[in-house]
A and B are shown apart, each in its own frame.
Chain A
Amino acid sequence: MAGSRLAVARTAKLYVRGAFPRSESGRSYVVTSHDGTFLANAARASRKDARDAVTAARGAFAGWSGATAYNRGQVLFRVAELMEGRRDQFVREVADAEGAAADDAAALVDAAIDRWVWYAGWSDKIAQVAGAANPVAGPYFNLSVPEPTGVVAVLAPQRSSLLGLVSVLAPVIVSGNTTIVLASRTRPLPAVSLTEVLATSDVPAGVVNLLTGYPAEVAPWLASHEDVDAIDLAGAVPLPGDEPEVSWGDLEAAAAPTLTRVLRPAGDGPADAPDGAVEPDWRPTPDGPRRILTFTETKTVWHPKGR
């Protein structure tokens, strides 16, 4: 190999409270490319890592939800700027993970960056689209506004390692929620690179926390956690042809005692039916701010009008 240079491999770690720790369990697991080539030993998150991530997310909520919508929009736009700068890296990682041809991978990465920009622009508009001044029958000022629900756990899609990830992550944080994301088990590396982007983009520590590892080990602890306000079960859908690692019905049941808001995965059938849930095609632009509003609460305020 005259003239070839040994590359310095990146260590894939968790992302919690703005830092990159290994799993407290010390474990890792093998991540391969679509064709079985070794890529990395990614941290294998434990339930304690999940617990710590929830604490980090809760700690960051007051600051992030208290920022102006303008500020959040600018921060998210900055993330897109830095994603654009790392485009080549993302294309390589998506191609490795999904087995996509170079052109397809490039299109997916471009779509992911544009999706992020799309969501950034919603920050200071959601209140105008989903809020309302209500014409109550009395001398009262009455206003309804959407507010972020709090700490949201997200099971990122198994198949779409960057575009799918962006499509579930951005809508959660744009309104002021903080989050714990469990990356695709077999395709986590684009997510790891995304956290490196987040760490350098003015996103406050703890707003986004990323765990890599096994859904069966981590997801039930997130679903049942008393301090998690909502959970997105998109990642409970296995890769086509695979057996599900977790049942989204079981996760929803685990979330029920604390009335955690649940976003069920796409699909028509119940959890126990084969193909009851599918991973959608993430490419089309979302139909409105629905995914953002899923993770908001509506607050209505009254005030009399009188001299």
Chain B
Amino acid sequence: MPGFEYAPAPESRDVVDVRGSYGLYVGGEFVDGGAGSLKTVNPATEEVLAEVAVASADDVDRAVRAARKAYEKTWSRLPGAERAKYLFRIARIVQERARELAVLETLDNGKPIKESRDVDVPLVAAHFFYHAGWADKLEWAGLPGRAPGATPRPHGVVGQVIPWNFPLLMLAWKVAPALATGNTVVLKPAETTPLTALLFAEICEQAGLPPGVVNIVTGAGETGAALVRHPGVDKIAFTGSTDVGRQIAKTLAGTRVKATLELGGKAANIVFDDAALDQAVEGIVNGIFFNQGHVCCAGSRLLVQESVAEEVVTRLQRRLTTLRVGDPMDKNTDVGAVNSRAQLERITELADSGDAEGAHRWTAPCELPDQGFWFAPTVFTDVAPAHRIAREEIFGPVLSVMTFRTPDEALTKANTTPYGLSAGIWTEKGSRILWMADRLRAGVVWANTFNRFDPTSPFGGYKESGYGREGGRHGLAAYVKEA
């Protein structure tokens, strides 16, 4: 008797028109770049999707000046209520073009269409909706440093550099609060995922956003560096690796430019013996295999209470046999492609270190396509805290499992890391959740859930996971002057 084989359920590519080449978006127009071009590739097939301009330092300068002009002549003179209506329009158009954006995101990033359709794009619209409502209410946002009742003032021009793991969502996290508070923006999308940012530029045009309020400068590391060090930028927001975050902090040292940095993590997902087991297993799976593990707040370390460790790992492995790895454009795919060859090499190298250092590797059975960048979901048990796979951010679908006996021990293991972005707690006991949450050195604590995001909920890290918060009332603070 044949089993229930899911037939291919491909989402159609026809909804989006991917152009052969793209320019930069500066001052309300698409213009050529001065530093050549780069090719962006579909990581599931290695097919070249488009050529995208690379912005030179001069291009970045032009963009900053366009942003400054838009700020001084237009954007800073608009009442908050009018800024709000632009943002509402953008939110609406994102909803109207949702399918197009989701398909383009999946083609460029490699994440399953199910995720870009059901998670990324709806959150993008929600971010713009939420922040639209703040644009004319800033005096009640409780932002520190202001005289009571005064409207907080924006910085002016903000430079924003975003990563490749949630390209459009990271753009929304940056652009929405910046615009709501009255700043104008120069944004550099990641080198491997520029396309939805460029489609977003078209959305800004449809919304009638005044030229120069949002500028998109595509390129790689050099473009980002040029933006960060540009003297015409009043504030920097960066999401990406801790290494680059350190460089930015160093670059800005001694200047008056403020930065928010949202960097890496090595989150502990802590499962107690009284956890709701089936949901905890889902939370573990979601924590590390959602988005192929390319998540800064991924639950990459499973800390499981020793008395239930074997049962949890058994259930986890059984659950992983139903994970579908494959074509991101198939609506039934759960785990898509690794974003780039470079990232695949990093994941492979770190996973190999797990073998070398004595951990025990288990890989989910799945057939990986020949073309494209793929890594099968992997679970390491017998992991010691000293192992590289317990300490270093892998940024891929690799889970490291360690055990603990008591809450205090779980806490120590969870906190002994230079990172501090997020943590998960699984237990049916409310007081234990709150006791642990109080003591976990992490900016986001998820209890009996994981990887939940909302525009109203502040997100950001402790320690070397960065500083500053995005989302919520607290996320506005970075985008206004302190006094």
A73 on the B face (CB < 8 A): yes
Q: Are A305's CB and B140's CB within 8 A?
A: no
Query: Which residues 207-226 of A have a CB within 8 angstroms of B?
Result: none
B432 on the A face (CB < 8 A): yes
Centre residue among B132, B133, B135 by max chain A CB count within 10 A: B133
Given A70-B129, A124-B456, A129-B141, check contact A307 B136 (CB 8 Å). no
Binds B, one of A115-123, A148-156, A178-186: A115-123
A114 on the B face (CB < 8 A): yes
Hey, which chain A residues are within 8 Å of B88, CB to CB? 77, 117
Hey, which chain B residues are within 8 Å of A139, CB to CB? 435
A74 on the B face (CB < 8 A): yes
**A305 interface neighbour in B134, B137, B438, Cβ under 8 Å:** B438
Hey, which chain B residues are within 8 Å of A117, CB to CB? 81, 84-85, 88
Hey, which chain A residues are within 8 Å of B139, CB to CB? 288
A20 to B473: give the CA distance in the assembly, Å. Answer: 41
Q: Are B137's CB and A306's CB within 8 A?
A: no
Q: Are B137's CB and A122's CB within 8 A?
A: yes
Query: Which residues 111-139 of A have a CB within 8 angstroms of B?
Result: 114, 117-118, 120-125, 128-129, 139
Hey, which chain B residues are within 8 Å of A121, CB to CB? 84, 132-137
A306 to B81: give the CA distance in the assembly, Å. Answer: 46
Query: Which residues 72-91 of B have a CB within 8 angstroms of A?
Result: 81, 84-85, 88
A26 on the B face (CB < 8 A): no
Given A70-B126, A114-B81, A307-B407, check contact A141 B456 (CB 8 Å). no
B255 on the A face (CB < 8 A): no
B371 on the A face (CB < 8 A): no
A241 on the B face (CB < 8 A): no
Q: Could you tell me the distance in whole angstroms from the C-beta of B121 to the nearest C-beta in chain A?
A: 15
Q: Are A128's CB and B430's CB within 8 A?
A: no
A269-306 interface code vs B (CB 8 A; 1 in, 0 out): 00000000000000001001100000000000001111
Q: Are A124's CB and B130's CB within 8 A?
A: yes
**B432 interface neighbour in A118, A124, A306, Cβ under 8 Å:** A306
Hey, which chain A residues are within 8 Å of B407, CB to CB? 307
Hey, which chain A residues are within 8 Å of B136, CB to CB? 118, 121, 285
Q: Are B130's CB and A306's CB within 8 A?
A: no
Q: Could you tell me the distance in whole angstroms from the C-beta of A81 to the nearest C-beta in chain B?
A: 8
A244 to B473: give the CA distance in the assembly, Å. Answer: 44
Hey, which chain A residues are within 8 Å of B18, CB to CB? none
B472 on the A face (CB < 8 A): yes
Hey, which chain B residues are within 8 Å of A307, CB to CB? 406-408, 431-432, 435
Name the residue on A nearest B411 (C-beta): A307
B134-158 interface code vs A (CB 8 A; 1 in, 0 out): 1111011110000000000000000
Name the residue on A nearest B457 (C-beta): A128
Hey, which chain B residues are within 8 Å of A123, CB to CB? 133
Query: Which residues 35-94 of B have a CB within 8 angstroms of A?
Result: 81, 84-85, 88
Name the residue on A nearest B95 (C-beta): A74
A121 to B126: give the CA distance in the assembly, Å. Answer: 12
Hey, which chain B residues are within 8 Å of A306, CB to CB? 431-432, 435
Hey, which chain A residues are within 8 Å of B141, CB to CB? 129
Name the residue on B nearest A78 (C-beta): B92
B276 on the A face (CB < 8 A): no
Q: Are B130's CB and A141's CB within 8 A?
A: no
Q: Could you tell me the distance in whole angstroms from the C-beta of A111 to the nearest C-beta in chain B?
A: 10
Q: Could you tell me the distance in whole angstroms from the C-beta of A110 to the nearest C-beta in chain B?
A: 11
Chain B interface, number of residues (Cβ within 8 angstroms)? 30
Centre residue among B135, B139, B408, B434 by max chain A CB count within 10 A: B434
**A304 interface neighbour in B129, B135, B434, Cβ under 8 Å:** B434
Name the residue on A nearest B87 (C-beta): A121
Given A128-B456, A141-B434, check contact A122 B133 (CB 8 Å). yes
Q: Are B473's CB and A128's CB within 8 A?
A: yes
Hey, which chain B residues are within 8 Å of A305, CB to CB? 431, 434-435, 438
**A118 interface neighbour in B81, B431, B435, B438, Cβ under 8 Å:** B81
Name the residue on B nearest A120 (C-beta): B133
Q: Are B435's CB and A129's CB within 8 A?
A: no
A296 to B238: give the CA distance in the assembly, Å. Answer: 39
Given A125-B134, A128-B473, check contact A288 B140 (CB 8 Å). yes
Name the residue on B nearest A115 (C-beta): B81
Given A121-B84, A305-B435, check contact A70 B140 (CB 8 Å). no
Hey, which chain B residues are within 8 Å of A289, CB to CB? 140
Q: Could you tell me the distance in whole angstroms from the C-beta of B68 to the nearest C-beta in chain A?
A: 28
A124 to B455: give the CA distance in the assembly, Å. Answer: 9
Q: Could you tell me the distance in whole angstroms from the C-beta of B398 to the nearest C-beta in chain A?
A: 31
Name the residue on A nearest B406 (C-beta): A307
Q: Could you tell me the distance in whole angstroms from the C-beta of B87 to the nearest C-beta in chain A?
A: 9
Q: Are A73's CB and B137's CB within 8 A?
A: no
Name the residue on B nearest A141 (C-beta): B434
Name the residue on A nearest B136 (C-beta): A118
Q: Are B132's CB and A129's CB within 8 A?
A: no
A285 to B82: give the CA distance in the assembly, Å. Answer: 13
A117 to B88: give the CA distance in the assembly, Å. Answer: 9
Query: Which residues 60-116 of A have a CB within 8 angstroms of B?
Result: 69-70, 73-74, 77, 114
Name the residue on A nearest B126 (C-beta): A70
Q: Could you tell me the distance in whole angstroms from the C-beta of A75 to the nearest C-beta in chain B?
A: 12
Name the residue on B nearest A130 (C-beta): B140
**B133 interface neighbour in A125, A141, A285, Cβ under 8 Å:** A125
A41-72 interface code vs B (CB 8 A; 1 in, 0 out): 00000000000000000000000000001100
A124 to B408: give the CA distance in the assembly, Å. Answer: 36
Name the residue on B nearest A140 (C-beta): B434
Hey, which chain A residues are within 8 Å of B438, CB to CB? 305
Hey, which chain B residues are within 8 Å of A128, CB to CB? 456, 472-473
Given A141-B434, A306-B431, check contact A74 B140 (CB 8 Å). no
Centre residue among B129, B136, B142, B438 by max chain A CB count within 10 A: B129
Name the residue on B nearest A80 (C-beta): B88
Hey, which chain A residues are within 8 Å of B142, CB to CB? 129
A74 to B94: give the CA distance in the assembly, Å. Answer: 14
Name the residue on B nearest A127 (C-beta): B456
Q: Could you tell me the distance in whole angstroms from the C-beta of A51 to the nearest C-beta in chain B?
A: 36
What are 11 A-B contacts with C-beta separation under 8 Å? A70-B126, A70-B130, A77-B129, A114-B81, A117-B81, A121-B132, A122-B133, A125-B456, A141-B434, A303-B434, A306-B431
Please list the residues of chain B having a beta carbon within 8 angstroms of any beta carbon in chain A. Answer: 81, 84-85, 88, 126, 129-130, 132-137, 139-142, 406-408, 430-432, 434-435, 438, 455-456, 472-473
User: Apart from A73-B133, A118-B81, A307-B408, what 10 extra A-B contacts exist at CB < 8 Å?
Assistant: A77-B88, A121-B132, A121-B137, A123-B133, A124-B130, A124-B455, A125-B473, A129-B140, A289-B140, A307-B407
> Which 10 A-B pairs rank lowest in CB-CB distance, beginning with the nearest?
A121-B133, A305-B434, A306-B431, A305-B435, A128-B473, A304-B431, A141-B434, A307-B407, A288-B140, A306-B435
